[in-house]
Amino acid sequence: MPYFRGVLRAVEARVYQDFELPGPVLDLGCGDGHFATVAFDRKLDVGLDPWTGPVREAAQRGGYHLVIQGAGDRIPFADGYFSSAVSNSVLEHIPDLDAVMAEMARVLRPGAVFIFCVPNHQFLANLSVSNFFDRVGLKGLADAYRAFFNRISRHHHCDSPEVWSERLNRAGFEVERWWHYFSPRALHTLEWGHYFGLPSLICQKLFKRWILAPTRWNLALTLGITRPIYEEAREQEHGAYTFYIVRRKAA
């Protein structure tokens, strides 16, 4: 994956190491399975994703005992089948979240932990280009840029903890804790990475590799840019993303 996505995923992967996930474990929106092989030291039980290509890749990577192509609002398992679940930067891409959250509540046992992360209400407010336009009085351009960046990020939701708490409560979950992460400075790196990373995208399309020469000298600049982000404090008051630790309510 491109470096600007890689550093975000690296920051997120560390979090899961602090939590025990009793099996069976469901990964909602597993994608190509790369994240699971990095974030977890064992195979997860089930990976679920709606897209054919990523599901095939996930099955080949071997990070799951079972990979299934399917939608989050129609999970093909019995009530209370799973003892825990994760979903990493997935839920923001789903238009009808209420249906998916209700389905997650159905397949999780009472008391089961569900850990997920999503962009929050500070994501758009922290974008550097739109903030520049705001400072020079070009509010129309600022709003247009925020809409553009949200569109290329394929976000349907960038919600506050208050909105999420209400949504989770409706679905049958209770929030144990949440925290913001990924500082404004870190988000700026991700934002500009979309543009400076175009050569890597071309490389991936042509050669099926994001990096042609994975040598120390070739990656030194990228490492210098991303290491401070990886090492910043976990909780960031003005962070653009939020982790949630929630549990299925007791019956």
Q: How do the domains of the chain map onto residue ranges?
A: 3-248
Q: What percent of the chain has pLDDT over 90?
A: 78
Q: What is the CATH number of domain 3-248?
A: 3.40.50.150
Cα 201 from Cα 1, distance rounded (Å): 9
Half-sphere exposure of 160 (CA within 13 A, CB side): 5
Task: Compute and round to an integer the Cα radius of gyration of the chain.
Answer: 19
pLDDT computed for residue 201 by the predictor: 54
pLDDT, residue 130, reads 95
Of the given ranges (108-122, 185-199, 201-215), which has the lowest mean pLDDT? 201-215
pLDDT tens sequence across 193-243: 766 555 565 555 665 665 555 666 555 556 566 677 778 888 999 999 999
At 203 the pLDDT is 59
pLDDT tens by residue, 63-79: 999 999 999 999 999 99
> What's residue 207's pLDDT?
56
Average pLDDT, the chain: 89
Local confidence band at 192 (pLDDT 50, 70, 90 cut-offs): confident
Determine if residue 45 is left, alpha or beta; phi over 0 gives left, psi from -120 to 50 gives alpha, anything else beta.
Answer: alpha
pLDDT at 228: 75
Mean pLDDT of 133-160: 95
Quick one: which of 170, 244, 182, 208 has its CA closest to 19? Answer: 244
- The residue ranking higher by pLDDT, 203 or 49, is 49
The stretch 143-153 carries a mean pLDDT of: 95
Q: Model pTM?
A: 0.87
Predicted confidence at residue 6, as pLDDT, reads 76
Helix, strand, or coil (residue 244): strand
Q: For residues 226 and 33, what is the distance between their CA atoms, to the nearest angstrom?
A: 23
